[in-house]
Amino acid sequence: MRDKWIAFYVSSHGFGHMTRNLAIMEEILEKTENSIYLASGKFQNQFAKSYLSKYKDRVLFTDLCTDVGLINQQNSLKVDVKRLEESLNKFIDSWEAVVAEEYEILKKLSVHCIINDVSPIGALVGKKLKIKTIGISNFTWVEQYEFLGVRESIIEAFKDAYSNLDIFMTYPLALPMTEMKVPSKKIDFITRNIDLEKINKIKEKYGDSIFITCGKSASLKSITIENYKGTIFTTSGIKILGSSRVVQLPVNTLDTQNYIAASDVVISKAGWSTISEAVTAKRNLVLIERDDILEDSYNIRQLKKQHLAISIKEEALRRLDMQEIELQCKQDIKQEENELYQKENSGILEELGIFKECSRSKWDFKEPSQ
């Protein structure tokens, strides 16, 4: 068994947290001899197992509810605060038992640090193990839940959990985290690597294309696309009307970042991971407004201010005139200003404090600089 382990606790809310952490895991597995312990949701772990299959002998998975995240109203993208509070109370009640179980697993491994995005579980496990615990995200649930008016006792529980982090690394577009009382450090975008050969093959096969991903809102059973003759890639499960050139990417597609990079326009909810993959690939970005989601609204404001995106209302998806969208992108998006953000995959090991010792073939963990 390898003597170095890095433990990841990744949010089980959606897939964006997992995709950005897979980029970090890939760097660790490619460039070090460390093994990885990954705790996340069942579906997130299934995706990660496929993505990291060539490293399967170096990754240990635990299926675990690491987050509740947000719960939407039925047939809507709006948050159901009452149901969310009920689920959060149950989740908080489970922390003590879950942390005890995780402690029993990790104490048998030589774990040198925990990387936590953005689950309270990882912070609490780190406290119990008394090892370095690094938070990494563009938000915490404290800001999100405060914005939604979630009960104060719930918010305090999350604050207390996060206070056990040793350092919090913040991505670009991070929400102001005024309640975070631990040291912080800004880092740049981390995204899955793109394959230029695959991108060229996609372009050769499909020609001009757009990429649409807008979640599984049952209120949007179909989207009608007007004035567009190219290929439409979609992962949303929503029926696309008005075009015979629709390519529905399976849920288990491992390289959606290549389809994003091959597309001329990306239409998406304003989640961080899709934004990072589109911005670093210099794609025209059209973001869907959701006024009750603090992260989304903040991301949209910042990117529009920097002329890197435009936005549309959710209702506009029912009938989308791509001629108008492309004209607005041409007028409002200035890709020449897209030097604000850089991809930092190659430097993330140093940022996390994992350095190679020149005189030996193994890797050591050191304190990240602050």
Distance CA 296, CA 313 (A): 12
pLDDT 10s digit of each residue in the chain, 370 long?
Answer: 345 899 999 999 989 999 999 999 999 999 999 999 999 999 999 999 999 999 999 999 999 999 999 998 876 778 999 999 999 999 999 999 999 999 999 999 999 899 999 999 999 999 999 999 999 999 999 999 999 999 999 999 999 999 999 999 999 999 999 889 899 999 988 899 999 999 999 999 999 999 998 754 435 667 899 999 999 999 866 789 998 899 999 888 999 999 999 999 999 999 999 999 999 999 999 999 988 899 999 999 999 999 999 999 988 888 999 999 999 999 999 877 666 566 666 677 887 777 543 222 233 334 444 4
- On whether the CB atoms of residues 299 and 270 are closer than 8 A, the answer is yes
Number of Cα atoms under 13 Å in the Cβ half of residue 78: 11
The CATH H-level superfamily of 196-337 is: Glycogen Phosphorylase B; (3.40.50.2000)
Encoded tokens for 199: 């991108």
315: left (phi over 0), alpha (psi -120 to 50) or beta: alpha
**Cis amide prior to 286 (ω within 30 degrees):** no
Would you list the domain boundaries of the chain? 5-190+344-365, 196-337
Record the pTM. 0.89
Q: What CATH class has 5-190+344-365?
A: alpha beta
Phi/psi of residue 199, nearest 5 degrees: -60, -45
The domains spanning 5-190+344-365 and 196-337 adopt the same CATH topology: yes
As to burial, measured by CB atoms within 10 angstroms (0-12 exposed, 13-18 middle, 19+ buried), residue 302 is: middle
Distance CA 42, CA 65 (A): 8
Handedness of CA 43, 46, 51, 56 (dihedral sign): positive
Question: What is the bridge-based pairing of β-strands 354-356 and 363-365?
Answer: antiparallel
Beta-carbon contacts of 330 under 8 Å, excluding residues fewer than 6 positions away, are none
| Rounded-to-10 torsion of CA 15, 275, 283, 340 | -140
